[in-house]
Structure 1
Amino acid sequence: MSHPHPELALPPALRDGAVRVVALGGLGEVGRNMAVIEHAGQLLVIDCGVLFPDDHHPGIDLILPDFSYIEDRLDDVQAIVLTHGHEDHIGAVPYLLRLKRDIPLVGSQLTLALIEAKLKEHRIQPYTYGVKEGMRETFGVFDCDFVAVNHSIPDALAVMVRTPGGSILHTGDFKMDQLPLDGRLTDLRAFARLGEEGVDLFMTDSTNAEVPGFTTPEREISAAIDKVFRDAQRRIIVACFSSHVHRVQQVLDAADRAGRKVAMVGRSMIRNMGIAADLGYLNVPDRILVDVKKLADYPDDKVVLICTGSQGEPMAALSRMANQDHRIDVGQGDTVLMASSLIPGNENAVYRVINGLMRLGADVVHKGNAKVHVSGHASAGELLYCYNIVKPANVMPVHGEWRHLVANGDLAMATGVPAANVVLAEDGVVVDLHEGQARIVGAVPCGYVYVDGSNVGENSEEILKDRRILRDEGFISVIVVIDAQTGKIAAGPEITARGFAEDAEIFEQVRPKIEQALADATANGSKDAYELQQVIRRAIGGWVGGKIRRRPMIIPVVIEA
């Protein structure tokens, strides 16, 4: 996908005094968040995250934003502002810094610590600039005011970006938990102050815009977690995001009350929780942590494991346990607590893991059958509060699938924002803010960039299409040796098929059809190997489609002898 909006032309040059906003990810999807703000020839990037692949992307490890829009203008980038430390907001930073390593990274203490650890694995030493709520800093022409917001990771920030051409308030991911575990509230007083000053464009988190009311406070699920610990007969295995500090804190506290030891499983979990503990964001009870290798020293009813894999990621610890491909053998009487919500697109993978664990005899507790997780995003009631407090001139919903963006736009209009001032855009769509009015003015190339092992950006949709065909439809190769002098078949056709339930003998039925098609083609003067390969492809493709109702990948090989 090189141009997601063919109905839109490339944008005109930015008018004097205007501000341009281009999302390179995060609009029309949950993940890959990245927005580029431009004014007076300078650029400011807000977030730079990854999207995790689904079943439609076989063999892909990560999906990055398309950097081509700014690739030739990296010297104009004044800073990358990171709103918080989740992978869908920071995971692509190493790939952007490969292009220019000295772009300043701006973020809170925990956010920068998490990205620095990640960059260390990529052997990149970043230039970082720490900020916290209440600070106001200038990066080129961009005057940035940082505001505390509550989310499912500590130290999240919203950012007010002021330029001579207008002001933009970007919430990042947030909710309005009135009883946060760390006592850090979303600063609605700051939102109100900024609203009084005047917000020309409000870019708001849309993930829960369809959910009525208010997001449940984190504290309310502690009782449900305690119940899981009381009822569990053997080991407890907790799966959550490796950056969900609040949830890990609740599990540590529950384990301490239950007299259980805790082992963390998975490199990212161990790394991130170590960082959070060192910086004081995670309070680890004395002597509660043990090495996973020493679990055998403790009775099963005194053990808790915290691991990754709550989204069904195939290589994560929980998936490998479900597949019996991990040092931890899940068995009868174990309790698995999946302490996260489903990211859209991951449903099938998650249910496969749940079914696999239950088949092994585990009791699986998840959001569908117990109140063991709450969202980190503002529901409709909270968004309405924000619109009424900020009173923005224009609104651009961000972070969500199209249905989420539409629902968020409807909420904005319900509070009095004119429909003409609610901008619904997707990745690559260019929005200009000029003289107080936000308008779509065009679109730029903005496709998926795939990470496949050590390859970045080399996989195309064609390659993925081939992989999907191989996975879903099977594979047939046909080898024929042609006499170069007479054009007649000297050997073959030799047919090899993979991925078919039918016996190999069934392909004997198509052999005469291939022979006849080749005879007709050579009789008509076709002797070129490529032309004869296409004859074979059409002959066997038509037969397989009609006989077996499949459209496999067909590899014809013609050898001249």
Structure 2
Amino acid sequence: MKLNIKNNETAVFAVGGLGEIGKNMYGVQFQDEIIVIDAGIKFPEDDLLGIDYVISDYSYLVQNKDKIKALVITHGHEDHIGGIPYFLQQVPNVPIYAGPLAAALIRGKLEEHGLLRTTKLTEINEDTVLKFKKLSVEFFRTTHSIPDTLGIAVHTPQGIVIQTGDFKFDLTPVGDQPSPNFQKMCRFAEEGVLVLMSDSTNAEVPTFTKSERFVGKSIRHIFDRIDGRIIFATFASNISRIAQAADAAMAHGRKIAVFGRSMETAMVNGRELGYLNIPDDVLIDAHQLNSMPADKVMILCTGSQGEPMAALSRIANGTHRQISIQPGDTVIFSSNPIPGNTVSVNHVINQLSEAGAEVIHGKVNNVHTSGHGGQEDQKLMLRLIKPKFFMACHGEYRMQKIHCELAQQCGVPEKNCYIMENGDVLALTQDSARIAGHFPAGDVYIDGNGVGDIGNAVIRDRRMLSEEGLVVVVATINMQKQAVLAGPDLLSRGFIYMRESGELINQAQRRVYRTIKSTFSSSEKVTEASLKDAITSNLQEFLFDKTERHPVILPMLILL
């Protein structure tokens, strides 16, 4: 992990967020000072069985914890703040600086993990300046699908390092949110931007991303033609979308019922911070909901990504305690499926349709726009910032590659554009850049309360159990007499149905018995481990020959 960073160089790196969508975490280092930008989580793919979240390997930051001066937050999405409690458990006492909404969301996370009293959390705005001995940090307004989105400008002796965070150029944001601060971006460019670390998510989209206000018009038009009950599903973090749905509901004389824990939290935070102007008398609970006419209510809920435990999924499969689909209901999905969630979303849509609801979703209905800028937004950022060097962030490899090509079109030399991996360190002077080494920055799995105690071997076992099943072999053995006293007996879970496979079970038991006897006869010194290895390999070979499957074999031997 020894890095070759010279005393006159500023280093930039990603602990997470490169080659992937999620767990964004970046660092800027000069000598003995490090500024950490964001600390997110990534939601697991379907093959990570039983895993709740994926976070970054913080070992480099743990080893350099005395150098960390601040954790600065671009915005309040989970892929940028979800890892903060886990980071603080390993690197305590790091002061956190975040905008009002992000700070409110972080406060809730810290309280949940018992870290609020011991953490310094400071609310900031775009005029805040953080000054340290060698580095200083400024902020600038951007727009995204959540309020209080900030870009980060770290002033170093070599020049300014800019991390855009998630952004698009929305010139007509909703909810009295300010538009992007072009003047401040241009001021940084005049002062000299050393490197731009920019959001690559929509690098494959060859346009400007539409304004959130455009979606608001579509929502109002859709509400105009609906006579029955409306169920509106979106991300709980998309306060702007919630505001527009609420405005449309109130304009049509509808009361609003909120379901889903994260949606309820978003409603509380949004109203407290002034982003949601929803009077108390507009909000109703489940009991009032069921007593009101269908054309006078809107249900606002989570579950637009098909999450199995979210409110909408439970409504769709009939397990929600307070809401069931009624004839005439219209369900609006105001989001696009995140990669990996398409199957789950389609399943929920099918369930809702089968239950009798009309479902409105997809680009054709204009009920969603991305919070990430397309190619034209990305090129505009490059032209405004005018960086000497460019590093594509927040995206998979193909997105980073296209983004680097856009940078070259905007005047950044090809040799100054970098597609890096998590853990790579880019060392910069005023007129040079080089890769100065690599530190471990792999995935760390969170399973319940366990952090990092689940490795690839466990995931592989879980995958095998889910695909092939389990066979348990039980036998009582007298090691001195080298005799089988009881068994062997076989138990199957997820492999075969034992009542219908008596002959196979009997053959397998005889195979195991012969394996035990032959192991004793072929060696004078037989151990429990050698017996288990012999049983496992022989039984696996036998079962594959009979079924062409590889179940997990678990020998349980009682030795006397």
TM-score, normalised relative to structure 2: 0.93
Aligned pairs (5 A) from 1:40-79: 40-79=31-70
Deviations 1:463-512 (A, max 9, x none): 22222222222111111223334423332221111113553323333333
Task: Tell me, in whole angstroms, the C-alpha distance in 1 between the residues paired with 2:96 and 2:282.
Answer: 35
Structure 2 residue identity aligned to 1:504:
S
Aligned residue for 1:297, secondary structure, equals: coil
Alignment of 1:446 onto 2:437? no
Mapped contact 2:5–2:436 kept (Cα < 8 A): no
Aligned pairs (5 A) from 1:27-426: 27-123=18-114, 124-125=116-117, 126-181=119-174, 182-285=176-279, 287-327=281-321, 328-367=323-362, 369-426=364-421
Moved more, 368-377 or 221-230: 221-230
Mapped contact 2:159–2:192 kept (Cα < 8 A): no
Structure 1 residue identity aligned to 2:71:
I
Offset of residue 264 of structure 1: 1.2
Task: Tell me, in whole angstroms, the C-alpha distance in 2 between the residues paired with 1:483 and 1:121.
Answer: 53
Task: Tell me, in whole angstroms, the C-alpha distance in 1 between the residues paired with 2:436 and 2:414.
Answer: 17
Structure 2 residue identity aligned to 1:333:
G
Aligned residue for 2:71, secondary structure, equals: strand
Aligned residue for 1:174, secondary structure, equals: coil
Moved more, 536-545 or 498-507: 498-507
Moved more, 412-421 or 480-489: 480-489
Offset of residue 141 of structure 1: 2.2
Structure 1 461/359 Cα, relative in aligned 2: closer, same or farther at 3 Å? farther
**What percentage of residue pairs aligned between the two structures are identical?**
39
Mapped contact 2:65–2:91 kept (Cα < 8 A): yes
Aligned pairs (5 A) from 1:460-539: 460-500=455-495, 503-505=500-502, 506-525=504-523, 527-539=526-538
Aligned residue for 1:405, secondary structure, equals: helix
Task: Tell me, in whole angstroms, the C-alpha distance in 1 between the residues paired with 2:162 and 2:137.
Answer: 10
Structure 1 390/455 Cα, relative in aligned 2: closer, same or farther at 3 Å? same
Structure 2 residue identity aligned to 1:473:
E
Task: Tell me, in whole angstroms, the C-alpha distance in 1 between the residues paired with 2:307 and 2:132.
Answer: 38
Task: Tell me, in whole angstroms, the C-alpha distance in 2 between the residues paired with 1:166 and 1:360.
Answer: 60
Residue of structure 2 in register with 1:427 after alignment: 422
Deviations 1:401-439 (A, max 9, x none): 122111111111222212211111121122211243232
Mapped contact 1:529–1:559 kept (Cα < 8 A): no
Aligned residue for 1:530, secondary structure, equals: helix
Structure 1 325/74 Cα, relative in aligned 2: closer, same or farther at 3 Å? farther
Mapped contact 1:243–1:273 kept (Cα < 8 A): no
TM-score, normalised relative to structure 1: 0.93
Task: Tell me, in whole angstroms, the C-alpha distance in 2 between the residues paired with 1:410 and 1:501.
Answer: 54
Moved more, 274-283 or 356-365: 356-365
Offset of residue 233 of structure 1: 4.6
Offset of residue 349 of structure 1: 2.8
Mapped contact 2:255–2:284 kept (Cα < 8 A): yes
Offset of residue 127 of structure 1: 1.6
Offset of residue 254 of structure 1: 1.2
Structure 1 136/349 Cα, relative in aligned 2: closer, same or farther at 3 Å? same
Structure 2 residue identity aligned to 1:437:
S
Task: Tell me, in whole angstroms, the C-alpha distance in 2 between the residues paired with 1:188 and 1:507.
Answer: 73
Aligned residue for 2:331, secondary structure, equals: strand
Structure 1 292/69 Cα, relative in aligned 2: closer, same or farther at 3 Å? farther
Task: Tell me, in whole angstroms, the C-alpha distance in 1 between the residues paired with 2:496 and 2:534.
Answer: 26
Mapped contact 1:517–1:536 kept (Cα < 8 A): yes
Structure 1 130/183 Cα, relative in aligned 2: closer, same or farther at 3 Å? closer
Offset of residue 262 of structure 1: 0.7
Offset of residue 159 of structure 1: 1.3
Structure 1 134/257 Cα, relative in aligned 2: closer, same or farther at 3 Å? same
Alignment of 1:547 onto 2:546? yes
Task: Tell me, in whole angstroms, the C-alpha distance in 2 between the residues paired with 1:474 and 1:407.
Answer: 43
Deviations 1:96-127 (A, max 9, x none): 22345432211222221221232222231332
Task: Tell me, in whole angstroms, the C-alpha distance in 2 between the residues paired with 1:322 and 1:549.
Answer: 38
Aligned residue for 2:353, secondary structure, equals: helix
Structure 1 233/477 Cα, relative in aligned 2: closer, same or farther at 3 Å? farther
Give the aligned CA root-mean-square deviation in angstroms.
2.0
Task: Tell me, in whole angstroms, the C-alpha distance in 1 between the residues paired with 2:59 and 2:29.
Answer: 15
Task: Tell me, in whole angstroms, the C-alpha distance in 1 between the residues paired with 2:280 and 2:314.
Answer: 30
Deviations 1:123-160 (A, max 9, x none): 31332333222443313422222110011011101111
Mapped contact 1:20–1:38 kept (Cα < 8 A): yes
Offset of residue 263 of structure 1: 1.2
Structure 1 517/99 Cα, relative in aligned 2: closer, same or farther at 3 Å? closer
Task: Tell me, in whole angstroms, the C-alpha distance in 1 between the residues paired with 2:177 and 2:484.
Answer: 80
Mapped contact 2:194–2:430 kept (Cα < 8 A): no
Structure 1 295/104 Cα, relative in aligned 2: closer, same or farther at 3 Å? same
Task: Tell me, in whole angstroms, the C-alpha distance in 2 between the residues paired with 1:183 and 1:122.
Answer: 31
Task: Tell me, in whole angstroms, the C-alpha distance in 1 between the residues paired with 2:2 and 2:201.
Answer: 28
Offset of residue 203 of structure 1: 0.4
Structure 2 residue identity aligned to 1:148:
R
Task: Tell me, in whole angstroms, the C-alpha distance in 1 between the residues paired with 2:2 and 2:411.
Answer: 29
Mapped contact 1:21–1:38 kept (Cα < 8 A): yes
Offset of residue 81 of structure 1: 0.6
Aligned residue for 2:303, secondary structure, equals: coil
Mapped contact 2:203–2:399 kept (Cα < 8 A): yes
Task: Tell me, in whole angstroms, the C-alpha distance in 1 between the residues paired with 2:132 and 2:313.
Answer: 43
Aligned residue for 1:325, secondary structure, equals: coil
Mapped contact 1:81–1:107 kept (Cα < 8 A): yes
Aligned residue for 1:533, secondary structure, equals: helix
- Which residues of structure 2 form unaligned runs of 5+? none
Mapped contact 1:78–1:140 kept (Cα < 8 A): no
